[in-house]
Amino acid sequence: MRTLATIVILSCIFVGFRLFEGPSVAAVAVQQEAENVGFKWAFGAIVGPGKERKFVSVTRDTILNTGDEIKMCVELTKECYVYVVYAGSGGEIGLMFPYNLKQFDGDYKTGKNYYIPPGRKWSELDKNVGRETFYVLGSSERLIELEALLANYMSADNSRKQAIADQVLAEIRNVRKKFRTFTTLAEKPITIGGNVRSLEKAEEAKRPDVTTVAVRISANNFYSKTFTIDHK
């Protein structure tokens, strides 16, 4: 009987150690496989008049004014496909990222900052006020139908552009509906500190680096977020 009791005690101790070991190798592998969409995303704006201008992080729908400036950045952390599509107040559509659809087969790699607009330039809001929307989509696979519609829009004459623009927006809604069961696993800031700060003269001359307000995004198969700007 002592032998049997000893075996039972040793078995319980072994099971206890196994419970405290953490997730199994198989569980970790499944989690890593699920996180097949990963990228860093930054969206910043320089707002305000004159000496009151400041750099802010755009994390949700917001109000911006004519003369304010915006900039974005995408950095892939996993091999996935990221799209940034712009819808203007006049019904126009723009592909902001990738810079063109051929980029997926060329200059498109992890660990590189892709600024929108490219380089050090910032986009200044013009006098055409209204609602402006930015769609950020991340996918483990290329969104072929969306790409085809964007290509058709860019090559169409003005008389057909509005109809195709409507189709592009409808396809974005369809894609989001199709992948609605997939969830965002993480969306968190990379840096710690204030998102709002005044611009000093030297900093204003060269413009701040928008990546200082980047967030790390991790998702299973698909990610989507919409930013709506009330342009006044």
List pLDDT tens digits, range 139-188. 999 999 999 999 999 999 999 999 999 999 999 999 999 888 766 676 76
Asked which of 27-41, 77-91, 166-180, 186-200 is least confident by mean pLDDT, the reply is 186-200
15 lies in a domain?
A: no
pLDDT score of 27: 40
pLDDT score of 181: 77
121 lies in a domain?
A: yes
pTM greater than the 0.85 cutoff: no
Number of structural domains found in the chain: 1
56 lies in a domain?
A: yes
**For the residues 4-18, what does the mean pLDDT come to?**
44
d(CA 39, CA 125): 26
114 lies in a domain?
A: yes
Expressed as residue numbers, the domain containing 85 is: 36-231
69 lies in a domain?
A: yes
Percent over 70 (pLDDT), the chain: 76
Report which secondary-structure segment, H or E, holds 216. strand 215-219
2 lies in a domain?
A: no
d(CA 146, CA 83): 10
170 lies in a domain?
A: yes
173 lies in a domain?
A: yes
For residue 173 the two structure tokens come to 């809604």
d(CA 164, CA 34): 34
**For the residues 200-209, what does the mean pLDDT come to?**
63
d(CA 192, CA 194): 7
